[in-house]
Amino acid sequence: MYNFDEITDRRNTGAVKYERCKALFGTEDVLPLWVADMDFKTPDFILNAIKERLEHPILGYTLPPADFFPAMQEWISTHHNWPLKREWLGFLPGIVPGLSFVVQSLTTAGDEIIVQPPVYYPFFNVIKNNGRELVYNELKEENGRFVMDYENLEKCFSKKTKMLILCNPHNPGGRVWTTNELKKLADICEKHNITVVSDEIHADMVLPGNTAHTPFATVSEWAENHTVTFMAPTKVFNMPGLISSCYIIPNAELRNKFAEFLEASEMNAGNIFAYIGAVAAYTQGETWRKEMLKYVQGNVNYISDFLKNEIPAIVPMIPEASFLVWLDCKNLGMETDELHRFLSLQAGLGLNKGTIFGPGGEYHLRLNVATPRPILAQAMEQLKEAVSKL
């Protein structure tokens, strides 16, 4: 039904993945496969909903439509087996800003916050830039996938530890944490009486055949009452420019603190298209989502087979969720910065440098495969040719 092989030229649209190439890679002549958005067209039902609204000639101050929060409730209940009360939900102008807001509203300067690297690098920024102390509970790799190091986690706590920020599913490793893994994490966090912030933007991007996503807040009564969850339709439906997210906080005390901070900061409302796009996605998007995930899984299989057969020195971590693939390149014998330059200038590929994701990112790169397969095939051929000359 949908043609994900279609190539759409994104140049001259202000697309971050193109506009920042020169600064990041030293050249504009790269295939940019780094920013975590898709090169697939934003679904027609979202664009059509926006076009329909544009038939009215006034774009004034706008409240969320009546079906905005019910659409979220229905989607999350249906897809993640988590019946939500309306009062638990609130609008959030983006998950990364939300991470900063939750750090500011629920902790104080000097508090310690635990993260589990290698992980989405804005986690580090919102902690350090707000005067909090960053504590690493580094993930371990076992049998080609990340697992949590619970023994080390126990050593991370002090009297100053107030929060843990969880990436669920994980970016960049693509892990879908199991219910048992999350329950064990919750038990440890309960013992130390901290708040957990769960970034679940990839919740709807579990690839075919993998374990279903489990919201962290659902694994225990304690977790429900001590978790701030962030979700969004923007990643899975390729509309990040609309900046439409939500927070879910069952605990009234935590929710009120967070909501009051948003209100005081005048950051508790969205733009008209953020609302419209989200409703369209949540009410009309299931067929597109399933087809997109099937195509992305095909891309993951393609690069996995290609690397195994043609460039065995590069080993991919096969994601269970998302369109991001973590590449282990240590067998190429280069330090991370040299590796990054090599791919940029010799292979003509713009990928994320692994070290920006923190400890454990050395010798790694992150590849975005949410692109038409002809582009991915070109990227693999360019990589093969460059590596063959080493």
Cis link prior to 172 (omega < 30° from 0)? yes
Partner residues linked to 115 by β-bridges: 136
Q: Give the tens place of pLDDT for each residue, 219-271.
A: 999 999 999 999 999 999 999 999 999 999 999 999 999 999 999 999 899 99
Host H or E run for residue 374:
helix 373-388
Task: Give the pLDDT of the chain (390 residues) as one tens digit per residue.
Answer: 899 999 999 999 999 999 999 999 999 999 999 999 999 999 999 999 999 999 999 999 999 999 999 999 999 999 999 999 999 999 999 999 999 999 999 999 999 999 999 999 999 999 999 999 999 999 999 999 999 999 999 999 999 999 999 999 999 999 999 999 999 999 999 999 999 999 999 999 999 999 999 999 999 999 999 999 999 999 999 999 999 999 999 999 999 999 999 999 998 999 999 999 999 999 999 999 999 999 999 999 999 999 999 999 999 999 999 999 999 999 999 999 999 999 999 999 999 999 999 999 999 999 999 999 999 999 999 999 999 999
What CATH number should be reported for the domain whose range is 16-43+287-388?
A: 3.90.1150.10
Starting from the edge strand earliest in sequence, which strands make up the sheet with 315-317, in order? 315-317, 324-328, 364-368, 352-353
Name the amino acid, one letter, at 174: G
Assigned CATH topology for domain 60-283: Aspartate Aminotransferase; domain 2 (3.40.640)
Q: What are the sequence ranges of the domains in the chain?
A: 16-43+287-388, 60-283
Which class for 182: exposed (0-12), middle (13-18), buried (19 or more C-beta within 10 A)? buried
d(CA 18, CA 30): 9
Q: Give the tens place of pLDDT for each residue, 81-117.
A: 999 999 999 999 999 999 999 999 999 999 999 999 9
Assign 170 to helix, strand or coil.
coil
pTM of the model: 0.97
